[in-house]
Amino acid sequence: APPAGYGGNGGGGGGCPRGGGDMSPTGKQAFVVDEPVDINAGDYDKRTALHLAAGEGHADVVDFLCKKGANVNIEDRWGGRPLDDARRRNFDECAEILERYGAKSSVKKHGTDYKSSSNRERSDSASSLDNDPNMRIDFSELEMIDKIGSGAFGEIYKCRWRGILVAAKCIKSAKIVKEWRAEKQNGDAATTNNNNDNNASSPAKSGGGDDTDMNESDRNMALADFRQETAILRKLRHPNVCMLLSYSTTEDFEVMISELMKCSLLDAFRANALHNAQMSRKRQIVYAQQLAQGMNYLHTCRPPIIHRDLKPANLLIDFSGTLKISDFGLAKIRPDPTKTEKEAFLMTGETGSYRFMAPEVFRHEEYTETVDVYSYAMIFYYLLSGRAPWCSLNGLKAATKAAIDGERPYIPREWDARLSALLKRCWDENHRARPSFEIILKELSEYSRDVLKQSADQVVLPDEKGCNCAIM
């Protein structure tokens, strides 16, 4: 889904691979056959390929994994087993296959019944709404104005809510999206007819085909991202994090209301390229500082939050020129807050956008929150150079160049030595050598003070022109 608050063209130099939920059965089987992997390996929530296949009704994949020796009674983080997933979704064929291989249902853990990740998150969301009625959406207060963006699974609408303009992020298959589309189409048709009263040969504007239908796998993925994003955003309050104002988790009316933003950093980059312009060094450093401020807040939360999908398309700029982090659909809360930032843990590999993806993520290795520092380095390079890292390559080839070939973008000799050194440390191959965002902020503040003669607290540039982006 596109970032909440803005619906730009997305991109950012690469696709957004996920955790296998939308892979075809043939693709899954080929992956197991061709790659030397642990068939019982789990993601951050200890959910294995067998959990996913059983929970999505892929009977042929379930049978294939069982034949290959997958543990049919393996448990996820909440004690759930593949058979539980199959039965909960009424996938009888998957359940029968699992039982033939000796699968059993989970037992009670710590005096409570097993809850799946998705059910637990739904319960958490409902509980939060009950406890905080101010976060509950009253749809009579929400007036749709216009669609301002869309992605694979979601759409963004500009709306009026409680007297202010906001952005409403919806799952594409939700009933409310279809209602808003129909409302918009009827309004456009009425306007067209009024304008063409004297021209009988001009047909009314057509709304085009309906692309709101999604297959079950895609819808489940979109819902999981939506629940993940609301679960995290509702707890966050920081000037450099896009603020969640309200949301609904009611089935077919899943909507997330956030502050309306002007554009994304990617839009600013594209506008500069179109006008053959370059951001001033002050603006480059201010954006780098604002991003580091937001990330330092996330990494110092208790427990820390890892974004995992930092890219220009997910960094939004408000009407005062402040950069804010958005799109927490792939974010993860670190499982053990007592661990130091140097300790690694296993989460789903190859998550995020390729061009800005840390090498260890691309290689499906264990990683820490320093993956965000690597992504930050690539964005900082983009800010300083005005060009995407390896802009002549597609995202996958760029990630391969970094993760497999061990290369990094070229740094011109004329760049400030301190900024060049900071970049190199942030994208260091050894994730333990990468600095924390607290250190990054300190070094950027020193640079601003010494070179730009600017206070560390100066984060707005009223004397400069805008970011060159345009609202269409």
Phi, psi angles (nearest 5°) of residue 231: -60, -35
Cβ proximity of 172 and 165 under 8 Å: no
Phi, psi angles (nearest 5°) of residue 400: -65, -40
Mean pLDDT within 385-402 = 95
- Quick check: 394 pLDDT over 70? yes
Domain co-membership, 251 together with 269: no
Containing domain of residue 318, as a range? 263-450
**Which amino acid is it at 112?**
T
- In a domain, residue 336? The reply is yes
Confidence of residue 307 (pLDDT cuts 50, 70, 90): very high
Domain co-membership, 295 together with 432: yes
Share of the chain above pLDDT 90, in %: 50
Cβ neighbours, 10 Å, residue 346: 15
Domain co-membership, 150 together with 182: yes
Kindly write down the DSSP assignment for every residue of 319-345, as one continuous string.
TTS-EEE---TT-EE-S-TTS-TT--B
Greatest extent of the chain over all pairs of C-alpha atoms, in Å: 75
Q: What is the pTM of this model?
A: 0.68
Spatial distance between the Cα atoms of 187 and 190, rounded to a whole number of angstroms: 5
Domain co-membership, 352 together with 369: yes
Q: In sequence order, what E strands does 162-242 have? A: 164-171
Mean pLDDT within 302-308 = 94
Mean pLDDT within 399-417 = 96
Confidence of residue 352 (pLDDT cuts 50, 70, 90): low
Instruction: Note the pLDDT of residue 227.
Output: 84
Cβ proximity of 147 and 182 under 8 Å: no
Kindly write down the DSSP assignment for every residue of 117-169, as one continuous string.
HHHHHHHHHHHHHHH-GGGB--GGGEEEEEEEEE-SSEEEEEEEETTEEEEEE
Domain co-membership, 168 together with 44: no
Confidence of residue 472 (pLDDT cuts 50, 70, 90): very low
On whether 169 is known to bind a ligand per the annotation, the reply is yes
Q: Is 449 helix (H, G, I), strand (E, B) or coil?
A: helix
Burial of 413 (0-12, 13-18, 19+ CB in 10 A): exposed
- Quick check: 230 pLDDT over 80? yes
Confidence of residue 213 (pLDDT cuts 50, 70, 90): low
Spatial distance between the Cα atoms of 82 and 105, rounded to a whole number of angstroms: 8
Angle (nearest 5°) at CA 435 between 45 and 454: 125
Domain co-membership, 278 together with 385: yes
Domain co-membership, 246 together with 271: no
- In a domain, residue 242? The reply is yes
Domain co-membership, 87 together with 177: no
Instruction: Note the pLDDT of residue 121.
Output: 41
Quick: pLDDT tens for 413-468.
999 999 999 999 999 999 999 999 999 999 999 999 999 888 766 655 554 555 55
Mean pLDDT within 319-333 = 93
- Quick check: 128 pLDDT over 50? no
Q: Which of the two residues, 26 and 114, has the higher pLDDT score?
A: 26
Separation of first and last alpha carbons in the chain? 21
- Quick check: 24 pLDDT over 90? no
Confidence of residue 14 (pLDDT cuts 50, 70, 90): very low
How many domains are contained in the chain? Answer: 3
Most confident of 46-60, 129-143, 289-303: 289-303
Q: Which residues, other chains included, contact 305 with Cβ-Cβ below 8 Å and sequence gap of 6+?
A: 232, 236, 298, 299, 328, 331, 332, 333, 334
Domain co-membership, 394 together with 425: yes
Domain co-membership, 48 together with 145: no
Q: Which of the two residues, 30 and 385, has the higher pLDDT score?
A: 385
Domain end position, chosen among 227, 259, 291:
259
Domain co-membership, 354 together with 305: yes
CATH (domain of 152) = 3.30.200.20
Instruction: Note the pLDDT of residue 453.
Output: 84
Domain co-membership, 284 together with 362: yes
- In a domain, residue 119? The reply is no
- In a domain, residue 7? The reply is no
- In a domain, residue 12? The reply is no
Give residue 316's Cα distance to chain centre: 13
Q: Which of 369, 261, 370 is nearest to 314 (CA)?
A: 261
Most confident of 118-132, 353-367, 406-420: 406-420
Confidence of residue 207 (pLDDT cuts 50, 70, 90): very low
- In a domain, residue 324? The reply is yes
Q: Which residues, other chains included, contact 153 with Cβ-Cβ below 8 Å and sequence gap of 6+?
A: 1, 171, 172, 214, 218, 219, 221, 222, 225
Burial of 138 (0-12, 13-18, 19+ CB in 10 A): exposed
